[in-house]
A and B are shown apart, each in its own frame.
Chain A
Amino acid sequence: MIEEGVDIAGLKVANRLLLGTGGVQSHEVLEKVIEASKASVATVAMRRVSATSKQSILDVLDAHNVTILPNTAGCYSAHEAVLTAEMARDALETDYVKLEVIGDEDTLLPDVNELLRAAEILYDKGFKVFPYTTDDPIIAKRLEQAGCVAVMPLGAPIGSGLGIRNPHNIALIVDSVNVPVILDAGIGTASEAAHAMELGCSGVLIASAITRAQNPPMMAAAMKHAIIAGRNAYLAGRIPRRFRALASSPMDGIANL
């Protein structure tokens, strides 16, 4: 069924797009985004039950055969993240977890010490861990060694839409780990999703860029196309950069006018 996808420890990611549901205005919009992107995986956060919630997001995701990837968003310590992951596993009956351990509420950047500790504990408990991490290649390597099934470096802070601030580091991570690299956070528009794929990422996770776009379903479709374009460009092999021009028309046979 999956024409262009990636399988990460059994998690089948259609079109190499993991959909973040954060910021989506309604379940109706979410349905249209899923249809437009053809996403097969979506993240959810774990929060206190609310008496006012009518329909669960799980019903929407189930109706579209979307696999749920719970996250540990909002956790600031390994202890909180591990407990949240265990509660998500208990509630949703999945071993997959997108591990987030945040260091600071202004930047929402990962606290890599706590992240690594939580990843080790969760691996021992049988989880399949997808860690949201910095663009540091050494930390990515350590997370792989801790048993994570993928690494998810940021392009820029969550929700910033600043694109990939250090593309070389992303390329270094792709080169240095053997698990799939999923670019997570920072993508603002379609060209930046293509950029991630051109750098050799196996996929991208996009939330805000789609859910907070003026037309979320249209942006979802744009992202799908951008990921395909970027992936194909990566596989096709780009030309080397040159300082000066290199004529594409032949130099022989130029008329003497």
Chain B
Amino acid sequence: MNSGNILMSISVNGEYHDIDTGTTVAHLVERYAPATRGISVAIDGDIVPKSMWAETQLKEDCRVEIITAVAGG
């Protein structure tokens, strides 16, 4: 928390979180879904392909959805 960075607020799966500016999608996935496979991420309704996770930085007020497969259907 005491990184000296400016915090920004984002929504992850419907909950608000304060994160460091410059946090990437890859960092976020590591934090919220470290042991889960078969993940897809959308920001503000657009999919962020896995190949872009490391270079995509989150923006203030963005809405992130991280989904995976569960029993259903």
Q: Give the contacting residue for A21; candidates B32, B50, B68, B71; CB below 8 A.
A: B71
User: Secondary structure of the A side of the interface?
Assistant: mixed
Residue A37 at the chain B interface, CB threshold 8 Å: no
Contact between A22 and B71, CB atoms less than 8 A apart: yes
Residue A91 at the chain B interface, CB threshold 8 Å: yes
Residue B21 at the chain A interface, CB threshold 8 Å: no
Kindly list chain B residues whose C-beta atoms are within 8 Å of the C-beta of A70.
Answer: 69
Kindly list chain A residues whose C-beta atoms are within 8 Å of the C-beta of B37.
Answer: 56, 58-59
Contact between B69 and A91, CB atoms less than 8 A apart: yes
8 Å CB contacts to A: which residues of B27-49? 32-33, 36-40, 42, 45, 47, 49
Residue B72 at the chain A interface, CB threshold 8 Å: yes
The number of residues on chain A lying at the interface, defined by a beta carbon within 8 Å of a beta carbon of chain B, is 35
Contact between B73 and A73, CB atoms less than 8 A apart: yes
Q: Name B residues whose Cβ lies closer than 8 Å to a Cβ of A.
A: 13-14, 32-33, 36-40, 42, 45, 47, 49-50, 65-73
A-B contact pairs, 6 of them (CB 8 A): A20-B72, A23-B71, A44-B70, A56-B37, A87-B40, A90-B47
